[in-house]
């Protein structure tokens, strides 16, 4: 039997073990014991009602009822962007036209925005490889929706989730460039971001 429960302080060692088998890109499961401790503490305080909306993050554990082993975790960020800006892209269209030059072009473009501010987010769902199954995955995922349905006042008006992209093993160079870009974005300050020229170059 599999059990869903809030993550607990005693899960720290199991989370460290889980982080070691997690694939790249699982920001919630970084192999850093201090960060995992803060994650557990924040979740416990959220369930106890001790944090403001902007700081709440609920983390659920999937436990093997027979062995007591931590089989996986999932979480909910209660509200995005209430402490610092939350950036996301939206697909839009840019049109350039000139009757005199006989030019008309239309381009699908990614625009950086803060449209999801205040939304709730479904965060990293991860199962230990020993417990990969549709039933375990569905239980761990749907538990979050049941919790939101039971306590809607704890969350934002909309629930969102990031869809992770996929890079195969042959795209090592692209993976390296992506990781480098993400690292730079994490370190950028608001002043540095404001100084960036984000105007698309359509001559490339």
* Spatial separation of the C-alpha atoms in residues 17 and 19, rounded to whole Å: 5
Q: Which residue has the tokens 């503490």?
A: 41
pLDDT of 28 strictly over 60 = yes
CB distance 41 to 8 below 8 Å: no
pLDDT for res 165: 67
Pairing of strands 70-77, 88-98: unpaired
Tokens at residue 203, please? 């001559």
- Across all residues in the chain, what is the average pLDDT? 87
* Spatial separation of the C-alpha atoms in residues 17 and 38, rounded to whole Å: 16
pLDDT for res 26: 57
* Spatial separation of the C-alpha atoms in residues 38 and 41, rounded to whole Å: 5
Tokens at residue 52, please? 């403001």
Residue ranges and CATH numbers for the domains of the chain are 2-194 (3.40.630.30)
* Spatial separation of the C-alpha atoms in residues 5 and 16, rounded to whole Å: 18
| 144 DSSP assignment | H
Q: Which residue has the tokens 């999801």?
A: 116
pLDDT of 68 strictly over 80 = yes
Query: How far is CA 160 from its chain centroid?
Result: 10
pLDDT for res 171: 67
CB distance 2 to 71 below 8 Å: yes
CB distance 26 to 39 below 8 Å: no
Q: What percent of the chain has pLDDT over 70?
A: 88
Tokens at residue 74, please? 């999932």
Tokens at residue 34, please? 């201090």
Position with higher pLDDT, 57 vs 1: 57
* Spatial separation of the C-alpha atoms in residues 122 and 11, rounded to whole Å: 21
- Scanning 25-161, the segments in alpha helix (DSSP H) are 33-47, 134-150
**Neighbouring C-beta atoms of residue 156, cutoff 10 Å:** 21
pLDDT of 27 strictly over 70 = no
């Amino acid at each position: 039997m599999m059990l869903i429960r809030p993550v607990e302080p005693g899960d720290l060692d199991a989370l460290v073990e889980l982080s070691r088998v997690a694939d790249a890109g699982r920001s919630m499961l970084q192999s850093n014991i201090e960060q995992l401790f803060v994650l557990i503490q924040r979740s416990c305080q959220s369930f106890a009602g001790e944090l403001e909306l902007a700081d709440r993050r609920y983390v659920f554990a999937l436990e093997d009822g027979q062995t007591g082993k931590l089989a996986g975790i999932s979480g909910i960020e209660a509200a995005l962007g209430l402490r610092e800006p939350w950036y996301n892209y939206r697909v839009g269209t840019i049109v350039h036209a000139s009757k005199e030059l006989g030019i008309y072009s239309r381009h699908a473009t990614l625009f950086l925005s803060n449209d999801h501010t205040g939304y709730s987010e479904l965060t990293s769902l991860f199962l230990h490889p020993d417990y990969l199954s549709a039933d375990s995955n569905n239980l761990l995922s749907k538990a979050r929706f049941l919790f939101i349905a039971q306590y809607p006042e704890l969350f934002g008006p909309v629930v969102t989730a990031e869809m992770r992209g996929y890079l195969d093993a042959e795209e090592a160079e692209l993976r390296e460039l992506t990781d480098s870009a993400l690292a730079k974005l994490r370190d950028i300050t608001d002043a540095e971001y404001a100084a960036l020229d984000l105007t698309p170059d359509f001559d490339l």
